[in-house]
Structure 1
Amino acid sequence: MATDDTQAQFEKLSDEHYARFTTLIRAAVAEGASDVHLRAGERPRVRIDGELYEVEGPIVTEESLRSFLYALLGPDQIERFERTHELDFAHTFPGVTRSRFNLYVQQGKLCASTRLIPEVVPTMEQIQLPPVVYNFVNLPAGLVLVTGPTGSGKSTTLAAMIDYINTHRRTHILTIEDPIEYVFQQKRSMVSQREMSLDTLSYHHALRHAFRQDPDVVMIGEMRDLETMQAAITLAETGHLTFSTLHTTEAATTINRIIDSFPPHQQAQVRAQLAVSLQGIISQKLVPLKDRRGRIAAREILVCNRAVRNLLREGKVPQIFSAIQTGVEDGMITMNASLGELYRQGLISYETALKNSPDRREFVQKYGNG
């Protein structure tokens, strides 16, 4: 009887912890937060418009945080976290949000970093993707990359593009993610979403078998290593429209990151492959709006026209920036030009544009001193 009473008390306490943290997440969503940070021994923090704020209220205890998080996990996930002290997973709080969790330990204390993901995938129009991006999502094959630092909206941009295809084309879309972030509702397309550990052993394992799953469109959550990069390039070469992300800040850096990931004796071949398969790169960052809450994306866009492909073949990657500057008719835009346009439209302040400019001297020359 005592055992039953103890179990009942534990379950009641666990439910209380779940309710408390779910309420916190609901409040964070209402405030427009992008992330919630939970650390044992500290108050919660939320990230709003790129900045962290401490939440008033009680300090998070190890017991309450562990009870809440373990209620979201299966036995295998708990075992893996207790063995490795690292775990990525996603969870949907019905009617509130979907969240991507990263569990870790710092100074012996349990921590969770939580990215809040809208339950509804935004449209390309809602996130103000430029017209040239519609060309990317209507391609039959090729490689399209979305790049930027952590928290720059890469997953959202990628999801909006994938859902456009889902809405307008009759295809098989295969996503390989760690973990699954946005969940797509099937529309005109058939959508298969595979998650690391849950549905497949690894990116490499999933990509190796992707060719036999009859996909038209493949979305790889992140190109993490040489094997993933090679698989993405091969998929694009063999008639699949392939999307992925990298944590790079501009097109030329992205191309160099891919090429430099390969051994020297393979780099010429990889450049040649990219010259054929690469279709475009969207490099973005989120910047604060002027005089109101919220952020908006500034984007550099590379379109692989004939000039860019020749530069790739000849190994003249540093000259790609000049090709973007002169490729306006093809829909290309530099980061400075994107920031300048947002400033001219009154969406961001001059100070914000200048702070985020990759070349401040050029920005001042073109847009003055504010």
Structure 2
Amino acid sequence: MDAKIFVQILEIAFNKKVSDVHFETENPPFFRGKGQIIRSKLPNLTSEDTEFIANQILSHHNRRWEADQKEFDTSFSLPSGARFRVSIFRQRGSFGIIMRVIPAYIGTFEDLRLPPVLGEIVTAPNGLVLVTGPTGNGKSTTLASMLRHINENFSYNCITIEDPIEFLFSSDKSCIIQREVGIDTDSFSSALKAALRMDPDLIMVGEMRDKETIEASLMAAETGHLVLSTLHTQGAVSTINRLIGHFPPDAQEIVRHRLADILVATISIRLIMNKTGEFILPVLEIMRGTTTIQSCIREGRLDEIEGHMENSRSQYHMQTLDQHLIQLHEQDLITIEEAKRLSHSMDLERKLMFTN
């Protein structure tokens, strides 16, 4: 492996619009395309090859691998403008590298097949908006699309705190400041505290990883700012439980009340293959902080939330995951097998029969 071959592999990945590139010892480079892992026909990588790749990425940031270090997240860019989010890790004594392709173009809601209600949600004057879902299901892309909508339509001062910075923004109607953890700031929580002194209208936090970041995000939302962030949860109820669970038992009731007051919406996203296998579609659960939802959160009646979401589709544009799966199936976009695979419900098939 040399620098020229490494760059060629990344250029191919970027131009072919794959989502990820994997470099691991004793295997050729792997690509992920249309949700599937694709084994390349290149030679197997040695431990020297993966160490070379890791050092190429680290030197890009004037960093070195510390002796006691086990993993490192960063970004990487090519002279052509292609950009990647990178995870470097140790496995069986060697380096492994997974590089997520960051699209050069930030899609609109229409481009990404996201519902227009996201534009309404993201223009709330203050509060907390959470985009949730498993890794690799489009949380960052959805957040970027929401920020694009703000940038094109409103005069806001927007501050992003990311680890690493993914999509690069140019200020349009809004002013956008992007800070990277480890380079521009020490941590999410310290950057959040600093952001409050930077005249923000909107603060985007790449990920709520710990209690300190959650507490700082709640405080920013409570003091009149709009805060956008992500969590690795699969739905509204699990998101609320995860947030509250970061706090000690004697503080959880207070946190629940605080959350009820500021939660604008949770948007839980999963990706599903379309019927022809040619492209991937987003499936969204959307919960909005209506008076009824606020009461459920405040009083701990979380088991009632899904029912309220189902009944508020026409009025508030809320929807459950199953409702969106049923809609996509009725539009003949996905198979019933794919719908059942993604659903959390044991009776999705019965719901499909009922709607037909």
Pairwise CA distance, 1:230 = 1.0
TM-score, normalised on structure 2?
0.95
Contact 2:165 2:180 (C-alpha < 8 Å) held by counterparts: yes
Which runs of structure 2 are paired with 1:175-324 in the superposition (5 Å)? 175-324=160-309
Which runs of structure 2 are paired with 1:56-67 in the superposition (5 Å)? 56-67=41-52
Which runs of structure 2 are paired with 1:1-370 in the superposition (5 Å)? 17-74=2-59, 78-95=63-80, 97-328=82-313, 329-361=315-347, 363-368=348-353
Q: State the secondary structure of the residue aligned to 1:84.
A: coil
The letter for the 1-side match of 2:328 is L
Kindly tell me: are residues 76 and 128 of structure 1, through their superposed partners in 2, closer, same or farther at Cα, counting changes over 3 Å?
A: closer
Contact 1:29 1:96 (C-alpha < 8 Å) held by counterparts: no
Q: State the secondary structure of the residue aligned to 2:155.
A: coil
Superimposed CA distance per residue, residues 30-63 of structure 1 (whole angstroms, 9 cap, x where no aligned partner): 4432111101332111112222121112112333
Superimposed CA distance per residue, residues 69-115 of structure 1 (whole angstroms, 9 cap, x where no aligned partner): 32333487533444413111111224363100110110001110111
Kindly tell me: are residues 180 and 365 of structure 1, through their superposed partners in 2, closer, same or farther at Cα, counting changes over 3 Å?
A: same
Contact 2:58 2:65 (C-alpha < 8 Å) held by counterparts: no
Q: State the secondary structure of the residue aligned to 1:280.
A: strand
4+ residue runs of structure 1 moved beyond 6 angstroms? none
Kindly tell me: are residues 115 and 50 of structure 1, through their superposed partners in 2, closer, same or farther at Cα, counting changes over 3 Å?
A: same
Moved more, 153-162 or 55-64: 55-64
- Give the superposed CA RMSD: 1.8
Corresponding residue of 1:13? none
Kindly tell me: are residues 217 and 57 of structure 1, through their superposed partners in 2, closer, same or farther at Cα, counting changes over 3 Å?
A: same
Corresponding residue of 1:4? none
Pairwise CA distance, 1:130 = 1.2
Q: State the secondary structure of the residue aligned to 1:279.
A: strand
Contact 1:17 1:65 (C-alpha < 8 Å) held by counterparts: no
Instruction: Structure 2: give runs of 5+ residues left out of the alignment.
Output: none
**2: CA distance between counterparts of 1:181 and 1:125?**
21
Superimposed CA distance per residue, residues 273-304 of structure 1 (whole angstroms, 9 cap, x where no aligned partner): 11110000000100001113221110000011
Pairwise CA distance, 1:345 = 1.2
Q: From the two aligned structures, give the one with the greater helix fraction.
A: 1
Instruction: Structure 1: give runs of 5+ residues left out of the alignment.
Output: 1-15
**2: CA distance between counterparts of 1:162 and 1:75?**
27
**1: CA distance between counterparts of 2:111 and 2:161?**
25
Contact 2:130 2:266 (C-alpha < 8 Å) held by counterparts: yes
Contact 2:131 2:230 (C-alpha < 8 Å) held by counterparts: yes
**2: CA distance between counterparts of 1:209 and 1:243?**
16
Q: State the secondary structure of the residue aligned to 1:360.
A: coil
The letter for the 2-side match of 1:70 is N
TM-score, normalised on structure 1?
0.91
Moved more, 27-36 or 68-77: 68-77
Superimposed CA distance per residue, residues 135-190 of structure 1 (whole angstroms, 9 cap, x where no aligned partner): 11211111000000111100000010011111111111101111111111111111
Corresponding residue of 1:10? none
Q: State the secondary structure of the residue aligned to 1:79.
A: coil
**2: CA distance between counterparts of 1:295 and 1:88?**
26
**2: CA distance between counterparts of 1:31 and 1:350?**
29
The letter for the 1-side match of 2:317 is G
Moved more, 169-178 or 95-104: 95-104
Q: State the secondary structure of the residue aligned to 2:63.
A: helix
Q: State the secondary structure of the residue aligned to 1:293.
A: coil
